[in-house]
Amino acid sequence: MVFLALVISVIVGNILVSAAGRNFFSSGNLLDVFSATSVLGIIALGQTLVLISGGVDLSMGVVASMSTLIAAGVMDNKQGNIGAGVGFALLFGVLFGLFNGILIGLFKINAFIATLGTSLLLSGYLATNFHGSYGQVPAAFHKIGSTNIGPMPLSTLIMWSGAVLFYVTLKQTRYGFHIFAVGGDTSVARLSGIRSIPVLIGVYVICSLSAAVAGLILASRTGVGSPTIGTDSKYTLLAIAAAILGGTTLSGGVGSIIGTISAVTFLGVISNVMSVIELNSFLQDVVRGSLIILAAALYAKKSSLRITPRFSRAKV
């Protein structure tokens, strides 16, 4: 169903954009669309995995911010430090994810509360120690943020690679199957011999890692580290919305990478169209919110009709 929304949005968007005198499919415009999707897309991928496992990760935004700070700080405008910068940012993602995973998988703390707590911890730390932008990304790394292959930014390619990786993991690997099992019904999984602790820890590590990668892309685009960039654009909540629009449920056990990416692209197209027609940014949020509610309402209606009725009309 998200496909339908995506296709409609592209058609309608094209009309609106043309009315404003621009071409939706021009490479410049497509670039904008794709750029808008890559960061949200990477975050949504990680979030999808966590949602399927029956949890949620509210800390992704702050982790992305921290990742920009570590990358920019370590690189310190020195090209030689790029490797270290990337490495430490990713390492932070892994460790933070481990922290979340242990709280949720081992100590069985509710995922919402646990990740809310860790995100507050981290954001408190960031607010105290960082004011405004920090560090500097060397030119070579900065270029990555603006490299494009045709109309497709490198960052979007990274998102797509991630999407393929996650898709294969969920559909084809035992680990992916077990994520669905743990999210679908923890006791069924347990009774079948699946150990939920490693599954959950793994999922939160992957998720925070995704947030860290998103942070690297943000750092590459802006050139600096920022303590608020991950949270300013409400990535975490939009990622959850995108996943749900794409067919992933909040209760776990059901999810679709294709759906998430379609939803993210849909949101990207909407954002692009709204900025081309120069819609007030407050109104943009209103539109976004309304579309999310509308789509969710349509979903609710659709799922209640799923069981085919035996008699749809009176028999003669």
Partner 1 sequence: MTLLEVKSLSKSFFGICVLQNVSFTVKVGEVVGLIGENGAGKSTLLKILSGAHQPDRGEIVLNGAQVHFASPLESEQAGISTVYQEFNLLADRTVAENIFLGREPQRFGFVQKNKMNALAQEFLESIGILTISPTSLVRELSTAQQQLVEISKAVLRSPKIIQMDEPTSSLAQHEVELLFKIIKRLKENGVSIIYVSHRLKEIFQICDRIIILKDGNFVSEHESNEVLEEEVVRKMVGRSLTEYFPRRPIVQEFGKTVLRLEAAGNENVDGISFSIRRGEIIGIAGLQGAGRSELLDGLFGVSPFSRGQIYFNDLPVKIRSPRQAIQNRVARIPEDRKVEGLQLFESIMDNCLAVVRSMNPRETRKIKANQRSLLDAVEISTQNLNQEVRFLSGGNQQKVVIAKWLNAQPEIILFDEPTRGVDVGAKVAIYRQIRKLADSGSAVIMVSSELPELIGMVDRILVMKDGQLVRELPGSSTEFEILSAALSVQLKEGNCERN
Where do contacts with partner 1 occur on this chain (CB under 8 A)? 172-175, 177-178, 180-181, 184-185, 187-194, 253-254, 307, 309-312, 314-315
Q: Closest distance between partner 1 and the C-beta of residue 308, in Å?
A: 9
Give the residue with the Cβ less far from partner 1, 25 or 175.
175
Give the residue with the Cβ less far from partner 1, 184 or 198.
184
CA angle 172/176/181 to nearest 5° reads 125
Q: Closest distance between partner 1 and the C-beta of residue 182, in Å?
A: 10
Q: Closest distance between partner 1 and the C-beta of residue 299, in Å?
A: 15
- 259-280 residues labelled b (16+ CB within 10 A) or e (exposed): bbbbbbbbbbbbbbbbebeeee
Q: Closest distance between partner 1 and the C-beta of residue 154, in Å?
A: 29
Is 230:60 a contact under the CB 8 Å cutoff? yes
Cα 206 to its chain centre, rounded Å, is 12
Give the residue with the Cβ less far from partner 1, 149 or 314.
314
For the packed helices 257-276 and 235-245, what is the interaxial angle rounded to 10 degrees? Answer: 120
Rounded Cα gap, residues 44 and 38, in angstroms = 10
Which DSSP state fits 41? H
One-letter amino acid for residue 74 of the chain: V
Give the residue with the Cβ less far from partner 1, 64 or 182.
182
For the packed helices 196-222 and 139-146, what is the interaxial angle rounded to 10 degrees? Answer: 100
| Phi, psi dihedrals of residue 288, rounded to the nearest 5° | -55, -50
Residue with tokens 């960082």: 130
Give the residue with the Cβ less far from partner 1, 220 or 256.
256
Give the residue with the Cβ less far from partner 1, 143 or 190.
190
Q: Closest distance between partner 1 and the C-beta of residue 223, in Å?
A: 39
Q: Closest distance between partner 1 and the C-beta of residue 285, in Å?
A: 33
